[in-house]
Amino acid sequence: MPSQRRVRLLVVAVIAILVLTFYYSDEASKIQNQKFYRSTLEAMRAKEEAKHTKPNDKIQDTTVKPGTGAGGAQVGSADVERPAVPLAKGTENKNEEMEEIPIAGRTKMTVPKAKGVQDSSLNTGASDEDKKVEDEKESAEQLDAKSELNSILKRAPVIIFSKSYCPHSKRAKNILLGHYDITPEPFVVELDQHPIGPALQQLLKENTGRGTVPNVLVNGKSIGGGDDVAALDQSDELASKLRQLGGKWIAEVVHKTPESA
């Protein structure tokens, strides 16, 4: 039979074991209730589940919802297509100034539109307006030229349209004014000194078919330039030509002799 001493030691040992068991059980329960312990277990479970999840199941919804930007800013819906390159500063909201260009035939890049391409309709309108103004200006010059030409043709039956620096014009003037006495005297128009000389020359080209100088007109009909007048003079046909075309408007045509010239 055990002694009393052993019985006491056995009782003390049993009580100690019970106390330790109760203490550690209570601590374990507290640890399990702690937030850190629970979050750790959840993370471990999620990691284990991720190992067994298929690759397609890992794709998360990346849809950008309105109003979910940084600071609660409105960022638009997921259907908005973002540009392939960053926009220049100050052009973020100027979509009308951007265009897409193909790169290597496969991808597209959004870039600012080239200058001169934007608002082409406005440019066309401006061009049409300028053209209209130019047409009106040309019409006014043509009317002035016609009026001036009619006024010039009334000055004399023989008109010499010339340019002061042109040698062919000097030759024709020398023959008509120096070799002949023509009544009334031929009237000379220096187109390079006339206010609307270019418009008059263009009108003469349209009316007579001759756009160069000199251009000698008799009663509105051209008899040619410097070479033509010289050829008529050498063949003694100039005087008869002037009388024929001038009719009653030319009173006299006298070919000067070398002595009288």
Q: How confident is the model at residue 54 (pLDDT cuts 50, 70, 90)?
A: low
98 in a domain, yes or no? no
97 in a domain, yes or no? no
4 in a domain, yes or no? yes
pTM of the model: 0.50
79 in a domain, yes or no? no
Give the model confidence (pLDDT) of 4-16 as tens digits: 777 778 888 888 8
> What is the chain's mean pLDDT, rounded?
76
Q: Which domain holds residue 4?
A: 1-42
Q: Are 178 and 261 in contact (CB under 8 A)?
A: yes
pLDDT of residue 229: 96
246 in a domain, yes or no? yes
CATH assignment of the domain containing 168: 3.40.30.10
Give the model confidence (pLDDT) of 117-169 as tens digits: 444 444 555 577 777 777 776 788 889 999 999 999 999 999 999 999 999 99
Q: How many domains does the chain have?
A: 2
Omega before 214 within 30 of 0, i.e. cis: yes
245 in a domain, yes or no? yes
pLDDT of residue 113: 57
166 in a domain, yes or no? yes
Hey, how many other C-beta atoms are within 10 angstroms of the C-beta on 180? 20
Closest among 239, 249, 261, 148 to 199, alpha carbons compared: 148
91 in a domain, yes or no? no
